[in-house]
Amino acid sequence: MPEFVSLALNERGLMGAYKDRPAYQQNDYIGWISRAKRQETKDKRLSQMLDELEVGGVYMNMKHTASAKK
């Protein structure tokens, strides 16, 4: 995991929510963020991931019932 992603997860208190996701989702998020060429795009994708983890029930802008907050 890139350090800037780890820092962002820890700053927002979302590392637990990230680790609760299935391994394929964790890998998808990291790969999706890392593949961006421009820093602006990386930041936008990181923000989307953090927001989705915070809200729960969403994965890559799709409904994901298994991760919904209870």
**For residue range 28-50, what is the model confidence (pLDDT) as tens digits?**
999 999 999 999 999 999 999 99
Q: What total of structural domains would you count in the chain? A: 1
Confidence band for 23, pLDDT divided at 50, 70 and 90 = very high
Closest CA to 6 of 46, 35, 58: 46
Residue in 40, 1, 36, 39 with CA at minimum distance from that of residue 18: 1
pLDDT of res. 65 = 81
17: containing domain: 3-68
Q: Is residue 64 predicted with pLDDT exceeding 80?
A: no
